[in-house]
Structure 1
Amino acid sequence: MIPRGKTPYALLASLLLALTGPAQAQLSLPGGIDPLGTLGRVGDAAQELTDRALAPTSTIERSARQLAQARIARLEGLVMASRGAVDWDDRHEPARAGEVLLLDPDPASLALARDRGFLPIEQGVIEDLGIAYARLSIPAGQSLARGLKILRRALPGREITADQIHFPSGVGAGGTSAKPATPALPRGGTVGVIDGAIAGSDRLVAQRGFASGAPKGSEHASAIASLLKSAGSARIYGADVYGSDPAGGNALAIARALGWMAGQGVPVVSISLVGPANPLLARAVAAARAKGMAVVAAVGNDGAAAPPAYPASYPGVVAVTGVDGRGRVLIEAGRASHLDYAAPGADMSAIVPGKGRIGLRGTSFAAPLAASRIAARMAQGKSAGSALEAANSEAFGASRQTGRGVLCMICRSGT
């Protein structure tokens, strides 16, 4: 029961503020590690929640503490269920086990790495982006975190990273009888989707896999394609970075997918995945943008106290949060180092093969809708920068919580 005079939002803010003490000890992983960087920000999140319009507690009643616990449990569950395919890196983020990435490898650095037991698995260049890398196996008996430290000491000044995992930032919410809307906005354009594999879309022009077992149909990606069709996107390119790989969604797969999209001339790419910063992926995003591509990404669903989400936080990426049917920012919406737009992320539906029309919730579904608006403008011959300026003109309700405003509010149902 809510005490007289207290709104659900005021109660939630009070709870969040109370969590800034003991919760910091309760929510860290063994060894006192906080992989999220979340707990020290719970108090700040509480103040933000008092300022923003939130989803009703009848829809979702998860506090910042619960969101932090859910993310920790998800990360731990992934590592445990992977049967050794995923390990913790030196920042306690999940990444592909047993190997590291060396950027811009040369014969001397590869020889030094080999001398220390780091053997080459693969050496290549990201397609159409010109970024050279080498995958190196870690010496037997060493953890991923330890291997990274050893190689960085051996090769000071070189970019060496784990191949961190990225996660979808939205979920299906069950069946619904909602009917599709018909947006009265400029339509058309091409959008690339980096996610799982798209199934059942008549707008799909081409699809390619970047993980073992890919392309493998994904409900998440198929719902995104349904929303894009409803929003008027004429052509969709799909890149499956998951397949059946237990370490799918890694940075290298996403970078390769971006390179393929650039080679196909895809003008706008939507990425509804979140993970930690990764130097290879940061360079791939920058190289794609330099070729004129607009990269749009979701801020994730780990709450306002979560660490900044990537790729949404990379410079120049269009970062998108989600709002419900009444225009209120989702309580679970994460954050990025900057925020550009909000778009529908709840009280909406899409058609998924084998399931029919399902309800959706999450910033995953806001990002492609924002991407559809940019793509429609680029289809008129505008550059990425000019398309963003045009999108600004149709956005409304600009604020600290929605960036330049809300886009595509009537694009709420996938067809």
Structure 2
Amino acid sequence: MRPIAPALFCALALSAPLATSAPAQVALPGIGNTLDPLTDSARRGLERVPGALDGTLDDVGASVAQTVTTLAQARLDRVARLLRQNPTTVERDLDGNPARKGELLVMAPDPAMLETARGLGFGMLGQERLGALDLDVTRLAVPTGMPLARAQAMLSKALPGASIASDVLHFPAASSAPARAGSGAPALPPLQTTVGMIDGAPAQPVDALQGFAPGAPAPSDHGSAVAGLLARAGVRHVAAADVYGRGPAGGNALAIARAIDWLIGRQVRVVTISLVGPANPVLGRAVAAALRQGAVIVAAVGNDGPAAPPAYPASYPGVLAVTAVDARNRPLIEAGRALHLDYAAPGAGMRAPDARGRWVPVRGTSFAAPLVAARVAAARDARAALPQALDREAIDLGPRGPDAQYGRGLLCTICR
């Protein structure tokens, strides 16, 4: 099918259920407490929505503008609530992103750097050796009583040659917009390639399960849905890494890096990640190291709308960034963005299992990413070259060739 005119696309997209409560992605730039920056952000987002801005805002453009602003405000509200409810475990970092409280990460510091840090009052929490990725990370405790943002700025100034980061949080890329149920579809033929998933723990049995957060592994609705969709798309072998557990500060960058290291160490070379957060040097280096070893990492772009900051890990170079479409193959209006977009896949009009085994309606880019990972596994089974095999399968929607709505095309329509 060929898409419709841009203005009509906006009207059709708005006919889908809209997110009116906080979506799951809350990666935030350094935004203050007023709505003025959000207004600018909304307009920038509209510029990426075809037909939304034509000199003046028409009725459709105004509706899209309101939706974009609502999504942006939802991110602020969700982070504020997270911080308010968990003051002992989560705080804002130097960029305003939620992160683990009182802790900074330094990549492979030399002894002189550590001595300087100690002299400034930083304590040693531990050293992490990610052997399969050949990475070393040191965890430092922020001086007692010092805000994380201030400590990050002070240490960065004192160690100008060091890679210093907060342990930022990542959130599931499932939408809070109402989800409509789709008809059941038969499972696809079984695949032999193992797919790794980094998420909450699935309730259903998998080949391997490892926890990387307090209380992990702990069955979650989101992780169960991702694993269920992998199975429906033909994946029979799953290695699942739970980076959430039961604590409020789960999904942190170091936990995800540990999970990638564990999967690479198990020789898993197809990984799906339906989580979103800000850029982080520790996670960025872990992703790059995995890609160098031949891994294919598939990641969702999130659900904060077109004005959202770029989602990571989807935005890291080499990662397959995935957006979602509804049952009529229209892009989800709440879909976020990455610095690049590779493919689209179904993310609405279908069901997936929750942690209690019930098949429930789901919606969001979270549920498109595992379907693309399944197609990567199918290409691996067939010993086909990537991404050429995916490109041959992808349905070219939108303007001819790669575009900002569908990437290089729509995959796995039979997985819905």
Aligned residue in 2 for 1:389? 388
Tell me the distance in 2 between the aligned counterparts of 1:61 and 1:224: 31
1:40 aligned partner, one-letter code: D
TM-score (norm 1): 0.86
Aligned residue in 1 for 2:10? 9
- Which 5+ residue runs of structure 1 have no aligned equivalent? 1-5, 14-26
1:321 aligned partner, one-letter code: T
* Contact 1:178–1:348 under 8 Å retained in 2: yes
* Contact 1:241–1:248 under 8 Å retained in 2: yes
Tell me the distance in 1 between the aligned counterparts of 2:35 and 2:412: 43
Match of 1:406 among 392, 405, 410: 410
Q: Cα–Cα, structure 1 residues 328 and 211, in superposed 2: closer, same or farther, change >3 Å?
A: same
Tell me the distance in 1 between the aligned counterparts of 2:165 and 2:124: 15
State the secondary structure of the residue aligned to 1:194: strand
Aligned-residue sequence identity (percent) comes to 47
Tell me the distance in 2 between the aligned counterparts of 1:343 and 1:162: 32
2:183 aligned partner, one-letter code: A
* Contact 1:374–1:391 under 8 Å retained in 2: yes
Q: Cα–Cα, structure 1 residues 358 and 122, in superposed 2: closer, same or farther, change >3 Å?
A: same
Tell me the distance in 1 between the aligned counterparts of 2:252 and 2:195: 21
* Contact 2:180–2:349 under 8 Å retained in 1: no
* Residues 336-347 of structure 1 aligned to structure 2 (within 5 Å): 336-347=338-349
Tell me the distance in 2 between the aligned counterparts of 1:46 and 1:123: 44
Match of 1:299 among 265, 277, 301: 301
**CA distances 1:373-404 after superposition (whole Å, capped 9, x unpaired):** 0011112334xxx2321011000125411111
State the secondary structure of the residue aligned to 2:367: helix
Aligned residue in 1 for 2:132? 128
2:43 aligned partner, one-letter code: G
1:30 aligns with 2:29: no
State the secondary structure of the residue aligned to 1:149: helix
Q: Cα–Cα, structure 1 residues 232 and 48, in superposed 2: closer, same or farther, change >3 Å?
A: same
1:157 aligns with 2:156: no
Aligned residue in 1 for 2:48? 48
Aligned residue in 2 for 1:87? 91
* Contact 1:200–1:352 under 8 Å retained in 2: no
**CA distances 1:339-395 after superposition (whole Å, capped 9, x unpaired):** 00000001111122425110010000001100100011112334xxx2321011000
Post-superposition offset of 1:12: 9.2
- Which 5+ residue runs of structure 2 have no aligned equivalent? 1-6, 15-29, 53-59
Post-superposition offset of 1:39: 4.5
Q: Cα–Cα, structure 1 residues 8 and 124, in superposed 2: closer, same or farther, change >3 Å?
A: closer
Match of 1:266 among 265, 268, 290: 268
Post-superposition offset of 1:126: 1.6
Post-superposition offset of 1:258: 0.3
CA RMSD of aligned residues (A): 2.6
Q: Cα–Cα, structure 1 residues 95 and 350, in superposed 2: closer, same or farther, change >3 Å?
A: same
Q: Cα–Cα, structure 1 residues 134 and 28, in superposed 2: closer, same or farther, change >3 Å?
A: closer
State the secondary structure of the residue aligned to 1:244: coil
State the secondary structure of the residue aligned to 1:162: strand
State the secondary structure of the residue aligned to 1:328: coil
* Contact 1:191–1:375 under 8 Å retained in 2: yes
Q: Cα–Cα, structure 1 residues 358 and 327, in superposed 2: closer, same or farther, change >3 Å?
A: same
Tell me the distance in 1 between the aligned counterparts of 2:344 and 2:89: 35
* Contact 1:176–1:357 under 8 Å retained in 2: no
TM-score (norm 2): 0.85
Post-superposition offset of 1:88: 0.3
**CA distances 1:212-263 after superposition (whole Å, capped 9, x unpaired):** 1000001101011110111001211100000012110000000000000000
**CA distances 1:148-191 after superposition (whole Å, capped 9, x unpaired):** 011111111210000000000014756847322344x7844221
* Contact 2:220–2:354 under 8 Å retained in 1: no
**CA distances 1:66-85 after superposition (whole Å, capped 9, x unpaired):** 00011111111111111320
* Contact 1:10–1:50 under 8 Å retained in 2: no
Post-superposition offset of 1:105: 1.4
Tell me the distance in 2 between the aligned counterparts of 1:116 and 1:31: 34
Aligned residue in 1 for 2:318? 316
1:67 aligns with 2:71: yes
Post-superposition offset of 1:33: 9.5
Q: Cα–Cα, structure 1 residues 132 and 33, in superposed 2: closer, same or farther, change >3 Å?
A: farther
Match of 1:351 among 327, 350, 353: 353
State the secondary structure of the residue aligned to 1:133: strand
**CA distances 1:279-301 after superposition (whole Å, capped 9, x unpaired):** 00000000000010001100000
Post-superposition offset of 1:331: 0.1
Match of 2:200 among 196, 207, 229: 196
2:320 aligned partner, one-letter code: V
2:200 aligned partner, one-letter code: G
